[in-house]
Amino acid sequence: MPIILTQTKHYQITMQLREFILGLEAGDTVPVVSELTEILQCSHGTAIRALKALSDEGLITRPPRKQRYIVAKHAERSAARIAMVRPDFPSPTYENQLRRIFGAGKKKNWSFSYFSYRNADELDFNRIAADCDGLVMIPASEDIPAELVGRMLEMGKPVVVLMEHLDHPQISNVTADDEAVGRLAAQTLFEHNYKRILLIKDQPDESTMQLRLAGFRKEAERLGLALPDELFLDTGVCSFEFFGNKLYEKFDEFLRKDIPFDAVFCLTMDAALVVHRALLASGRKIPEEVGLLAFSGENNIAEYFTPAITTISIDLNSGMEEAVNILAERLENTDTAARSFAMRPIIEERESLKK
């Protein structure tokens, strides 16, 4: 079994020394190795390695012709350095998640490094590990392969994975409660007296889509709602593929078949925007002829459409704050177990469902 870096004496002493130095003023002299062994209760070699690590960070420096380190005058005096890794794909969803992580992390005096990727196989986790104390990972819209999980574990740093479901004892996970999203969608449409509901899936077949669909189908069956195959529309897109034109064409083709339906549940807000436009372009009235419901996540633009779209949302602020708290727990105590947190969905009634 590989050694977990956060459990090593060197890592723990480096974190303690960083916290000690953050309490000093710029230009203050750093204790020498013999003093540090007493202060931190560590070996001579461990103290030297900790000093070198903080010198490499730029937190401390050794003036020319001097033997002792001093606190650097222009160092970024952060309590921890966090790597934020995201797909190299333009997405307001990714930006919203990162912005909220950044805001919550700043409250803890964290600094951040940013890494992006088009192919997770090409991520250099050795380089990332050398530059950070913990990792926030946003996967692409696909299931997380075991090989990627193994490479994250080899870093030996605390990891939080966002928005894709991952059940692993050593990696923390923050997501929406996607199965509850599906259940809430079925309940809401049933309460509004819709009977023939078209499901639209516009993302790859990964964990969030699977759970939303499973939750919807399970609850629909309990409520006695029919779910024929003809009322399921899958765009079949892949990760990093833009789906908008493909969905519009597929939905337009569906409308031309005159298959009866009285409501649409879009598994994402992006799909709802396309469907909203296509319905109105086809002459169908919302909600008089067709109801429209979507999972919006943290996206708040639904209220600006005419008619405004009823959505299922989550509190992304609380979710991302919890992700930061989980990471902080594991940074402070390396024995703390990884844990998961699921954001509870809520319904936001607007104008796109009949009363």
Q: Are residues 227 and 309 in the same domain?
A: yes
Q: Are residues 244 and 329 in the same domain?
A: no
CATH number, domain at 191? 3.40.50.2300
Q: Are residues 195 and 303 in the same domain?
A: yes
Q: Looking at residue 241, what is its pLDDT?
A: 64
Q: Looking at residue 24, what is its pLDDT?
A: 84
Phi/psi at 12 (5° precision): -65, -40
Strands 263-266 and 291-297: parallel
Select from 19, 50, 71 the last residue of a domain: 71
Q: Are residues 62 and 98 in the same domain?
A: no
CB 67 within 8 A of CB 31: no
Residue 350 in any domain: the answer is no
Residue 24 in any domain: the answer is yes
Residues 129, 347: Cα–Cα separation, whole Å:
40
Residue 293 in any domain: the answer is yes
Q: Are residues 125 and 215 in the same domain?
A: no
CATH number, domain at 56? 1.10.10.10
Residue 355 in any domain: the answer is no
Q: Are residues 190 and 308 in the same domain?
A: yes
Query: For 137-196, how does the pLDDT look when each residue is reduced to its tens digit (9 = 90+)?
Result: 999 888 898 999 999 998 889 999 999 999 999 999 999 999 999 999 999 999 999 999
What is the domain count for the chain? 3
Q: Looking at residue 2, what is its pLDDT?
A: 39
Q: Are residues 202 and 305 in the same domain?
A: yes
Q: Are residues 191 and 294 in the same domain?
A: yes
Q: Are residues 182 and 305 in the same domain?
A: yes
Residue 273 in any domain: the answer is yes
Q: Are residues 210 and 284 in the same domain?
A: yes
Residue 256 in any domain: the answer is yes
Determine the 3-state secondary structure of 72 from DSSP.
Answer: coil
Residue 352 in any domain: the answer is no
Q: Are residues 187 and 232 in the same domain?
A: yes
User: What mean pLDDT value characterizes the chain?
Assistant: 90
Give the structural domain span for 102: 80-176+317-344
The ranges of the chain with pLDDT < 70 are 1-8, 74-77, 239-243
Phi/psi at 331 (5° precision): -70, -40
Residues 45, 67: Cα–Cα separation, whole Å:
17
Long-range CB contacts (< 8 A, 24+ apart) of 217-224?
217/182, 217/186, 218/182, 218/183, 219/182, 219/183, 219/186, 219/187, 220/186, 220/190, 223/186, 223/187, 223/190
Residue 354 in any domain: the answer is no
